[in-house]
Amino acid sequence: MADQIRLLVVEDVPQVAQYIRGLLSSQQAIKLLDVVTDGSKVLPMIGELRPDVVMVDALLQGRVKGLTLVGRIQEAGMHVPVIVLTVPQQPVVVDPANGVHGVLGMPFTGYELVTRLQQVHQQSQVQDTSHLARMITVFAPKGGVGRTTLAFNLAVAIGQQGTRTVLIDGSLQFGDMRALLKVPMEAPSLLDLPTDRIQESDLADVLWRDPSGIDILLAPPRVEMAEMVTVRDLEKTLSLLRRVYEVVIVDTPAVVNDVNLAFLDASDTILEIVTFDSTAIHSTMVMADAFRMIGYPPTKVRYLVNRADSTGGIDPAVLSQALGRAPEHHVSSGGALVVRANNEGIPFVLADPSAQISQDLTRTASELIGAARVPAGAGRR
């Protein structure tokens, strides 16, 4: 589920912990990451597990008491909302300034538990999204428009601006990024991440570190392995990556399926690539209608005209008319530079930063990062 809430519970009473597990076992809206009994271990676990919500028993015993732990989470700037469990005899007041974002009195029902978790999580997302990475999905409904090359170079250009960036190869069947960068077949891929619980430490073992300075999550090495990647796997992975990195770039194939829609739904910005080619323009128009039917706001989609200096006899005004607006970004042809850089598996923005295409894409990177955020998940209705 795209909106699945990752929950970490801090509870040292076995009966209460078991009761919570039982209430959550029959639903999918909440993912119980772990139950911690020692408050002194919680801060490192928050940094590693990246929960969406932490639930702390106010009556927690041990070296670190319940409300003391709440204060430490707040002081550490963890950017995670906390729900405090308590009993009527010891009331606790909701006080976000001191780290208490919600209160749940015992005993409680499963409905009350899930409802309170969803309320606190939603309020947290509205009030503070500054710690979540900006996600940009590079998409084109037609192949051959330079999508993968642009996605790679865009990620590198953003990384060169001092922004911690990760690139996801969303071409799960053919691994376009793996081929472009000459990555060995035995290099780990998205499939090497655990499916039950993904931790930040798992990323270090799976991500490919490109010499340009960006991290890359590669697609599986063989075509048939793509079927082993589920939408829920992707959603869990994206949830963690958006907490670890500042920008997430996704390169997607020219298809519309559940996997691609998961990427598109989660994106802040869809960067759609188009060229001065009649079939590419037609496919882009068809996709624009599909996006409207899905429910994406117009501001979620930005158009990039690749090879903008090669119009092929098509009037640029015709393209703007077909899109219903002027394209936001333009990148000129790279010619021999792009071919040489791709054959060597290096980004053209570093091979020749002074080239017009490099300057165009660097400018595009700055514009995309500076663009107003569209709420992630603004998608299918």
Read off the CATH number of the domain in which 327 is found. Answer: 3.40.50.300
Q: Is residue 311 part of a domain?
A: yes
* Count of domains for the chain: 2
Q: Is residue 380 part of a domain?
A: no
Q: Which pLDDT value is given to residue 70?
A: 93
Residues 371, 231: Cα–Cα separation, whole Å: 28
Cβ neighbours, 10 Å, residue 202: 16
Domain containing residue 153: 134-370
The reply to whether 82 and 159 lie within a common domain is: no
The reply to whether 148 and 104 lie within a common domain is: no
Residues in the chain: 381
Cβ neighbours, 10 Å, residue 360: 22
The reply to whether 35 and 174 lie within a common domain is: no
Residue at a domain's end among 79, 100, 126: 126
Q: Which pLDDT value is given to residue 230?
A: 86
Q: Is residue 375 part of a domain?
A: no
- Which carries the bigger pLDDT value, residue 3 or residue 325? 325
The reply to whether 99 and 157 lie within a common domain is: no
pLDDT digits (tens, 9 = 90+) for 221-277: 999 998 998 888 888 788 888 888 999 999 999 999 999 999 999 999 999 999 999
Q: Are strands 208-209 and 215-217 parallel, antiparallel or unpaired?
A: antiparallel
The reply to whether 94 and 156 lie within a common domain is: no
Average pLDDT over residues 331-357: 95
Q: Which pLDDT value is given to residue 136?
A: 96
Q: Is residue 376 part of a domain?
A: no
Residue 375 has pLDDT above 50, yes or no: no
Residues 265, 249: Cα–Cα separation, whole Å: 14
Is 230 within 8 Å of 268 (Cβ atoms)?
no
The reply to whether 171 and 320 lie within a common domain is: yes
The reply to whether 108 and 190 lie within a common domain is: no
The reply to whether 202 and 154 lie within a common domain is: yes
The reply to whether 184 and 52 lie within a common domain is: no
- How sure is the predictor about 193, in pLDDT bands with cuts at 50, 70 and 90? confident
> Which of 3, 9, 17 has the alpha carbon at shortest distance from 45?
9
Residue at a domain's end among 83, 106, 126: 126
- How sure is the predictor about 373, in pLDDT bands with cuts at 50, 70 and 90? very low
Residue at a domain's end among 84, 106, 126: 126
- How sure is the predictor about 381, in pLDDT bands with cuts at 50, 70 and 90? very low
- How sure is the predictor about 372, in pLDDT bands with cuts at 50, 70 and 90? very low
Residues in contact with 306: Cβ distance below 8 Å, sequence separation at least 6, in sequence order: 145, 146, 150, 273, 274, 275, 331
Q: Is residue 379 part of a domain?
A: no
The reply to whether 73 and 98 lie within a common domain is: yes
- Residue 107: cis peptide before it, omega within 30 degrees of 0: yes
Residue 138 has pLDDT above 50, yes or no: yes
Q: Is residue 51 part of a domain?
A: yes
The reply to whether 99 and 197 lie within a common domain is: no
Q: Which pLDDT value is given to residue 58?
A: 93
Q: Is residue 378 part of a domain?
A: no
Q: Is residue 377 part of a domain?
A: no
The reply to whether 73 and 157 lie within a common domain is: no
CATH number at residue 93: 3.40.50.2300
